[in-house]
Each structure stands twice: as structure tokens, then as C-alpha cells.
Structure 1
Amino acid sequence: MPIFNCRTLWNVLPVAALWIGLSFLLVPVQAQPTALTRGDTTKPQMALIFTGHEYADGGDHIRQVLREQEVPGSFFFTGIFYERYAPLVQLLKADRHYLGAHSDHHLLYAPWSEQDSLLVTRDSFLRDLNANYVKMEKLGIARLEAPWFLPPYEWYNDSIVQWTADAGLQLINMTYGTLSHADYTTPDMPNYRSSAQIFQSILDYEAAQANGLNGFLLLLHIGTDPDRADKFYLHLEALIGELRERGYRLVTLQELFQND
């Protein structure tokens, strides 16, 4: 049995203290997860993202335009959408577009007036999210193939970002600045925007910003309420042409985030 006298202990303690201190430095610090809302702003490339829950009236037209223009799309659908519009989903899958989750029942996670508050618990959030992936898997979309999650209403807070990361997924959202997401509005809404206004807002933002639309995630809806007769998705081909004329490449999410 080793014998430690005071001199031995005096010599050992500083070494032990140093080792313990270094060990803390060697432990990796877990970074707070964040939402991805834009890619590299130095590169003239962007991604088109589409969400869907109740309506899919633009599905065939959007698919045709993307095929003809050879543009990749990223589609985020609720579980309800995956069940209701399975044939369309299979066509998009055959075209090799990204298919991701948008929650199962399109839950509102936080009040509109208090974004830092919550209307869901962690368990209810995860149950709903997992149900979305179960319905995707029934259509041959594996969870590992769909790591990006776009929250319903594009509305979330730090808790939702953390819970998404805990589920092994990455929360993404559209890039704000244009009115593209207003393509769902109907004439009776105070925030209604016509397709002409939406289109012009995209061009105006691009012209006014130093980095233009570099790294942008431009969000559109795959379908809208029948009360909106002015369908913005009918302008998709013209929009793609205009973006290309301005020097932008339309890329996949994987390419957009390849350095993240």
C-alpha cells in the first residue's frame, strides 16, 4: 500500500488540479441549436421551398414547371397532406424532389402575440412530429432522407428549435423580406396581396439589398383556398426565368447548406 507524506501530497495536488482543469477544457461544449433561414449570402444561389396542408391545386402545375425548367424543389407537407394527396407525393418523389415534414396536424406552437410562449408541450410536439414521419414512411420517405423540418405557419421559438434538434432533425424556415408567403391570402383578408404585388416584392427586395436573394429560401404554397382566384403558382415559370436572368442558380437544400 503506497504511503503519502505531506511532501508527496503537496507535489501531487497541483498536477491533479491541472489535469482536472484541462479535462474541463477538453469536454466539447454543446452549441445552442439554431434555425437555418438562409444559406451563403455571398453566392448567387437560392432554393424554392413549398409547403402544403389542406390544398394541393397547384401541385400538377408546379411539378410540370419544375420538370421543364430542371429546377429542384423542396416540399414540406403535413401528415394530413401526405395521406390526402398520396398520388401527387409519389410523383414528386419520382421526380427526386426533397420531401419533408411540416407537422402532422399543422399545429400552432406559440401565440401570435407572444412568440416566446408555448401552446404545446414537448411531448405533444414530438408526438405530432413523429406522426408526420410515420405517414411519410408509409409512402417510402425514410426519416434519414428528410432531416430538415419546416414548422407549421413558419412560426416557432427557441424551445421548438431545441426540441427539433433533440429529435435529430434540423429546423429550417423561409427567408423573410419578400411577400412570397402571402400567396395564400384571399381578397377578404386585410393582408391580401395580389400575385402582381408578390412578384414585384421579390424583384424589389433583390434590387434593394446588397446581397440580393443570395442564399434565399423562397417559400410558396402548393395550393391555396378556392376563394383566391389569383394563383401565384401560375407565375412560377416567369419567376424562375426572371431569377435566372438576374444570375441566380436554383439549387437543392443540400447544396444551399453544404457549408453549414
Structure 2
Amino acid sequence: MSGSQQISLLRRSIFWLCILIAVAGVTYHYQENIFKEGFDSLTATNTPKDIPICNVKTNKKLVSLSFDADFGNEDIEKILSVLKKYDVKTTFFITGNWVEKYPEAVKKMQAAGHDLGNHSYHHKHMPELDAAGISDEINTVTEKVKELTGVTMNLFRPPYGDYSNTLLTQAKSLNYYAIQWNIDSQDWKNYGTDSIVSTILNHKDLKNGSIILMHNGAKYTAEALPKVIEGLKKKGYEIVPVSHLIYMDNFHIEPDGNQVQDTSQ
């Protein structure tokens, strides 16, 4: 190989070496960004999320029935009559719209000794709101119910069970305990009386401290209620309002929504 050929070969080798170095640099930078984005995403996903109270850790055979009241009033008299017959106190989570439409029903609930809980004013997906919007949704109901009954509510259930850290933080700042459930009766599916009764009484998560979700206005709820109460009592449970079930102070909430009292306090 002549000297000129060797120089030409050397130049080509240097050229391709530079190309490889440049490609390697771009690839590393790309992979580094991908890794960083993936790590940032993972970190965001694993950010601790606040949890509402779904059930309560207790050695006592206590459970709570709770009703969300957002639509309809046709069955409320029957529900109140059944609760009175069995001497059961429960918790009604009511929206502002419902309070405005049925003020006399709200008064009857309170007079009968049932809890009144806040279920927001418009029943929106509240995590979509900012802090000010959340406060408006909650405070409007608070004021209406206090004016109507003299009761200052302290229980709040997010509409649709949809919550976020901002929502729970804001509710707490307004002196509310956020309440979810660990047993959904699925009465809203309108599968019939037997379905509601079986779903509750045979639920794998039915235990001491359970909070059971039902709905005023669902088609078969009032009809199923006597069998639900009788079945729970037969299993040895005492049915109490949510305010009598939860701990009001010195507690923490585990990742599964179990409220646990802190005995070290």
C-alpha cells in the first residue's frame, strides 16, 4: 500500500470514528433522559396519597350503615320508618341540592337522631376543583344544614368516592373527617332486594368497624333494608352512626383506609 493510500485510509478511519463517537453521545443523552423521565414518573406515582376513613379497627362488633342522598325523596319516609322500627341510627350524606329540595326530610333525619354528613353541593368530581372551589362546595352545604337544623356537620363523603390529597387536606382544614366505605351494597345497580342483602351480608370484607354504603333513592334499598338490619344483627353486629364508630382524635389511617387509634397518645 502506497503512502497516499495509507493516509487516505487513516482519514476515513478518523472520520468514521468521529461519527461513532457522536452517535454514542446522542444515544447516551437520549437514554439518560429516558431514564430520568421514567424515574420522575415513578417518583410521582409513588408519592404518598392521603386516604379517607374506609373502616375502623375495633374489637367491638360495630358497623355503620350510611346513605348517600343526592336524588329522589320517594323512599325516605319508608327508610326512616324502618330505622325507627329497628331502633337503628345511621348516617345520611346529603348534597346541597337535596337539602334545598327536601328541607323537611333533613329536619326529620336530624330529629330522629341520625348523623347528617356533607356530600358536597353539586355532587361534582371534586379532585378537578381547586382549593377555593372545594371549599365552596363544602361550605355551602355546611351553612344550609346549620341554618336548617342548628347542626354543624363534621363528616364529609366525596362524591363518587373520588378524592385527592388536595381534597382531603381542604376538607380537614374545614374540620371535616373524610369518610369512604369498605362495603358497597351496589344498590345503585338495581339488581334487586336479594342482591343488596347478599352483597352486604356475604361480603368478604364485612367485619368489626365496617362502613356500608347505601343510597337513598336507589330502587330496592328501602325494601332491602329490614333484611340487611336483621342479617347484621343476627351476625352479632350493633349498627351505629359513623360518628359513633370513628375515632375523633389520636389516630392514623393505614394505606387500606383502616382507621387505627394511636394508643401511645
Paired AA for residue 220 in structure 1: M
Shift of 1:108: 1.1
CA contact (8 A) 1:33 1:165 kept: no
Please give the secondary structure, in 2, of the residue aligned with 1:99: strand
SS at match of 1:139: helix
Residue number among 138, 147, 151 corresponding to 2:154 in the alignment: 147
2: CA distance between counterparts of 1:244 and 1:185? 25
What is the distance in 2 between the residues matched to 1:87 and 1:142? 14
Aligned to 1:134: 143
Describe the SS at the equivalent of 1:247.
coil
8 Å CA contact retained: 1:99, 1:141: no
The amino acid of 1:153's aligned partner reads Y
**Counterpart check, 1:173 vs 2:180:** yes
Which residues of structure 2 form unaligned runs of 5+?
1-48, 252-265
Q: How far has the Cα of 1:185 moved from its partner?
A: 2.6
Write out per-residue CA displacement over residues 49-99 of structure 1, whole angstroms, 9 at most, x where no aligned residue: 111112122200110011111100111100110110111111111111111
Are residue 183 (structure 1) and residue 200 (structure 2) matched? no
The Cα of 1:104 is off from its aligned counterpart by: 0.6
Local SS of the residue matching 2:55: coil
Q: Residues 101 and 150 of structure 1 are in contact (CA less than 8 Å); yes or no, is this contact kept in structure 2?
A: yes
Partner SS state of residue 212, structure 2: strand
Q: CA deviation at 1:103?
A: 0.2
RMSD between superposed Cα atoms in Å:
1.9
Contact 1:51 1:221 in 2 (8 A): yes
The equivalent residue for 2:208 is: 214
State the TM-score, normalized to the length of structure 2: 0.70
What is residue 226 of structure 2 aligned with on the other side? 237
**Which residues in structure 2 correspond to 1:108-119 (within 5 Å)?**
108-109=125-126, 118-119=127-128
Counterpart Cα distance in 1 of 2:158 and 2:150: 18
Which residue of structure 2 lines up, in the alignment, with residue 250 of structure 1?
239
Q: Distance in 2 between matches of 1:108 and 1:218?
A: 21
Equivalents in 2 of 1:174, 1:56: separation in Å? 23
1:125-184 deviation digits (Å, cap 9, x = unpaired)? 1111111112112212432xx1111111121122211111122211111124xx40x212
Question: Mapping of 1:192-211 within 5 angstroms?
Answer: 193-205=191-203, 208=204
**C-alpha distance in 2 between matches for 1:54 and 1:223:** 6
Whole-Å Cα distance in 2 between the matches of residues 33 and 170 of structure 1? 12
Q: Which residue number corresponds to residue 6 of structure 2?
A: none
Counterpart of 2:171?
164
Distance 1:67 1:257 in 2: 23
Deviation at 1:258, TM superposition (A): 3.8
More helix by share: 2
Q: Matched residues in 2 for 1:164 and 1:241: separation? A: 35
On the 8 A contact 1:40/1:256 being kept in 2, the answer is no
Distance, in Å, in 1 between the alignment partners of 2:133 and 2:208 is 36
State the partner residue of 2:66. Answer: 49
Counterpart position of 2:52: 35
Q: Match of 1:221, SS?
A: strand
1:122 counterpart = 2:137: no
**Paired-residue identity, %:** 24
Question: What is the number of residues matched between the two proteins?
Answer: 201
Scaled by the length of structure 1, what TM-score is found? 0.72
